[in-house]
A and B are shown apart, each in its own frame.
Chain A
Amino acid sequence: MNRYPLWKYVTVALALLFGLIYTLPNFFGESPAVQVSSAKATLKIDEKARERVASTLQLAGIENTGIFLDSNGVKVRLRTPDSQLQAKDLLEKQFNPDPGDPQYVVALNLLSSSPQWLTNLHALPMYLGLDLRGGVHFLLQVDMKGALTKRLDAISGDLRSLLRDKTIRHAGITREGERLLIGFRDQETRRKARVVVEDNLSDLSLADQGEGEDLRLVATLRPEAIKRLQEFAIKQNMTTLHNRINELGVAEPVIAQQGADRIVVQLPGVQDTAKAKDILGRTATLEIRMVDETPGALELAQAGQVPFGSELYVERGGMALLVKKQVVLTGERLTDAQPGFDGQTQEPAVHLTLDSAGSRIFKDVTRDNVGKRMAIVLIEKGKGEVVTAPVIRAEIAGGRVQISGRMSTAEANDTALLLRAGSLAAPMEIIEERTIGPSLGAENINKGFHSTMWGFAAIAAFMIAYYLLFGLVSVIALAANLLFLVALLSLLQATLTLPGIAAIALTLGMAIDANVLINERIREELRNGSSPQAAIHTGYERAFGTILDSNITTLIAGVALLIFGSGPVRGFAVVHCLGILTSLFSAVVVSRAMINLIYGRRRKVGSLAIGQVWKPAGSSVTAVK
């Protein structure tokens, strides 16, 4: 009765093998590496960049143990930290010949040194949290209210020009909180205005208010429009953050949305919080200016004589361009920039939307400058870059601008991104910050590791002393539990933090409960006079119900933590919940398989090595091996 069918043994063996393979990468540690990634949205890292890295290193005679290309960029694994620094300097020089205008991010990184065949199986080591590797963590709150008022202000401008265009007289437009109030003198005008607004601004929901001479139309943004606005704001802020963080040269920054209006930024390895904050909080500005097309001026400027009132810029793509200093429009007037296609030619294009004041200025400027070029300049850190410099073909009214011609779809995408990245959609505020020094990280790993190890050793020693062979089996099952847990966490690519390690330790401490229950039950059966085989059988059988019940209550607590916990608590909860599930398998199935292998095949079992079973019946204590 204590025999498992072959498939059960095979399952256990496979599970152990799986656990071993996916746990393995965590033991190889990390080796120094250098990572080259793109600093600009327009620059893609491809096979060519990989070859360039390889040839650069080869020329300098720096040995490497592998060059990989992935979505983040090119990574080179090196043998020593010395050659890592050497390689970084070399690549920095090669990829960014002009340090003032870096095209690529060359950063120090760590790569897992696990062999290639493991990586091919997607067996990767766990990612270490900031508290274990050091770095900076920010939680940013996006001010959605600010985004909303900004949008409403833009809309009120649109309303004004819309009503003017249709020659509808209104008695003023004001914003009151999150509503826009449009005043009217008589019913008829209000009715007309309502029709016009409904036709043109579908984002607004309208309501009538007031009576007599004092009539009003109350406009509010529709809930779906607000939702869209918020999604757009957070997305754009993340894009902008991404661009800025690239400059810090962080190998693996984490920029993720948390909840509806928060962004988490984690910069592993960064210690200089001040610089990080400067860069995160910086605002870039976008300016539209006219190109100085005076004949001969460009040549003169390139020779060093820049005409008064103009500036020399380099267009993306390397062409020199002389741009007037006078600003036609700033990025604040730009409400949106989206990639798309030209309505007639089907060429890729970028569609810009300007607010009403912007549209008016733009209309005047384009009317006076048909045939000339204008430049859109992105100014960041006081340094400008011409994003694009299109030719004005006709007067543009209505605030909808299209830039097209000689553009690929990818270029249109990138240009739109750059235009949008000009400013943050909504203001942001740092509401949580954590900086962890690298030495503290290393110490935390050590502490976590030691507490788990000594705790495990103490439990193992006790279990073996108290339950002998059954104790040994329990300890092996507990070790298997640890193996499964680490394997699962690695497979899920979970981030390991100190609370996570604490959860592993605690889970192991609690998981032994199942084996204690089983062993005690078997002893009890023996005490009641069952044969060894029957005792094993009923012991496992009876204990299982109890184990299940008690684990489920623990799981309920874990799930609650998972739902409501944030940050470190969530890490704790993930490990705790997974640990409970793995312990069910290891404590019941794995340990039973071992016991079955040991005792199940024997026809006659004289005694079980489960330690002393004391029987109250007589004074003669039946000592069992």
Chain B
Amino acid sequence: MEFFRIRKDIPFMRHALVFNVISLLTFLLAVFFLFSRGLHLSVEFTGGTLIELNYAQAANLEKVRESLGKAGYSDFSVQNFGSSQDVLIRLPLRAEQNTARIGESVMQALAAEAPGATLRRVEFVGPQVGKELAENGALALLLVIVGIVIYLAFRFEWRFSVSAIIANLHDVVIILGFFAFFQWEFSLSVLAAVLAVLGYSVNESVVVFDRVRETFRKTRGLTTSQVLDHAITSTISRTIITHGSTQMMVLSMLVFGGETLYYFSLALTIGICFGIYSSVLVASPLVMWLGVSREQFVRPKKQIEGADKDGAVV
């Protein structure tokens, strides 16, 4: 079996501008949704209480809401979680309430109107924890970006590291944009998925860049865009197969992993799809426009002084 029977290099770079405009538009759209709708942050970030209940029959959400309201709770949300028997209740943080007893008092409140529930899970997060998590998340993101930029600049060239990180941050923002648009719950595991995607799709760009460097060194007389076309074309089969395989695993998590892994795998799915697109069709044009050329990789021994014109040489 061979899926990819490509006779000639595909002229990706001819349409580079089109791709970049599409990216820019998606990116701006994502940013717009991030600001206009905001992320629907989970209890882990905002603080509050999460209670998961299980009923033997389909739960009557109206009754549950009613009895919570009667018990003096406000701003709560009640929804099904996975199946009609499972109910998820979210309660905001409240200063005057004895948070330590919230699980029991909810169960008591429900006992009158909507009995028969078993407590599956209670999660309470205080305000200071949430703030810290958000800060640590941002720091982790920053560390990943700085680490990757430095590593790629060291292994390749600054042009590559800058375009790789821009391309992949664009993925991250788009994932966040999806979460903002659909108001999917953004939890700690989604954050982990986002960071994993960042590492993973940079790795995609690295594979292409590796080819670019090799092609520059091996062949003469090709223009930069031809070199990029060749590098992308010769790695495209690997790109699709690898991502397909990873996606199979993620899909399996999406299907079998249940509610807890659902958004985690969803974030990965979006990340993988946009990862292919961005590393091939965003990072490469960026490299081209940043002015990568053959001289940066080939340094003939006789003219060492002259080679250093463009700054960093690896």
Contact = CB atoms under 8 A, between A and B. Distances in A.
Interface stretch (A16-24, A31-39, A353-361, A557-565): A557-565
Nearest to B99: A430
Contact of B103 (A435, A447, A462, A616): A435
Contacts of B140: 560-561, 563-565
Contacts of B247: 509
Interface string A554-577: 111111110111111100110010
A450 B255 CA distance: 10
B253 interface: yes
A518 to B, nearest CB: 10
A253 interface: no
B144 interface: yes
B241 A520 contact: yes
Interface stretch (A76-84, A198-206, A417-425, A499-507): A499-507
B192 A565 contact: yes
A587 B245 CA distance: 15
A558 B192 CA distance: 9
A549 interface: yes
Most buried by B among A454, A456, A462, A546: A546
Contacts of A512: 242, 245-246
Interface stretch (B28-36, B60-68, B202-210, B219-227): B202-210
B266 to A, nearest CB: 12
A473 B129 CA distance: 47
B92 interface: no
A270 to B, nearest CB: 12
Contacts of B250: 455, 506, 509
A431 B261 contact: no
Given A433-B124, A434-B121, A569-B189, A516 B242 contact: yes
Nearest to B127: A431
A451 B122 contact: no
Contacts of B242: 512-513, 516-517
22 contacts: A131-B260, A433-B123, A434-B123, A437-B120, A440-B120, A451-B261, A455-B253, A459-B248, A459-B249, A499-B264, A510-B246, A517-B238, A550-B203, A553-B202, A554-B203, A556-B151, A557-B144, A560-B140, A561-B140, A563-B143, A568-B189, A569-B188
Interface in A263-279: 273-274, 277
A478 B136 CA distance: 33
Contact of B148 (A430, A434, A520, A553): A553
Contact of B121 (A432, A437, A516, A565): A437
Interface in A445-475: 447-448, 450-452, 454-456, 458-459, 462-463, 465-466
Contacts of A304: none
A553 B199 CA distance: 6
Interface in B245-297: 245-253, 255-258, 260-261, 264-265, 268
A553 B203 contact: yes
B121 A429 contact: no
A513 B203 contact: yes
A452 B251 CA distance: 10
A277 B105 CA distance: 14
Contacts of B235: 520
B246 A517 contact: no
B133 to A, nearest CB: 7
B237 interface: yes
B238 A508 contact: no
A467 to B, nearest CB: 9
Contacts of B148: 553, 556-557
A545 B210 contact: yes
A510 B118 contact: no
B196 A498 contact: no
Contact of B144 (A466, A556, A566): A556
A286 to B, nearest CB: 25
Interface in A477-526: 498-499, 502, 505-506, 508-510, 512-513, 516-517, 520, 523-524
A552 interface: yes
Given A510-B246, A516-B245, A568-B188, 10 more contacts: A430-B124, A431-B126, A435-B119, A437-B119, A458-B249, A506-B249, A516-B242, A549-B203, A549-B210, A572-B196
A567 B45 CA distance: 13
Contacts of A510: 200, 246
Contacts of A550: 202-204, 206-207
B143 A520 contact: no
Given A434-B121, A517-B207, A613-B2, A555 B248 contact: no
Contacts of A437: 118-121
A612 interface: yes
Interface of A: 131, 139, 141, 273-274, 277, 281, 429-437, 439-440, 443-444, 447-448, 450-452, 454-456, 458-459, 462-463, 465-466, 498-499, 502, 505-506, 508-510, 512-513, 516-517, 520, 523-524, 545-546, 549-561, 563-569, 572-573, 576, 611-614, 616
Contacts of B119: 435, 437
A622 B209 CA distance: 31
Contacts of B122: 273, 433-435
Interface in B70-129: 99-101, 103-104, 118-126, 128-129
A563 B142 CA distance: 12
A562 B181 CA distance: 29
Interface in B34-60: 52
Instruction: Kindly list the 10 A-B residue pairs having the minimum CB-CB distance in the complex, ordered from nearest.
Output: A557-B199, A509-B249, A455-B252, A431-B126, A550-B203, A455-B249, A564-B140, A433-B124, A509-B246, A556-B147
A327 B256 CA distance: 63
Contact of B241 (A450, A466, A613): A466
B241 A516 contact: yes
Contacts of A433: 99-100, 122-125
A561 to B, nearest CB: 5
B260 A444 contact: yes
A465 B1 contact: yes
B191 interface: yes
Nearest to B197: A557
Nearest to B5: A614
A502 B189 contact: yes
Contact of A558 (B3, B136, B199): B199
A310 B250 CA distance: 71
A556 B199 contact: yes
A451 B255 contact: yes
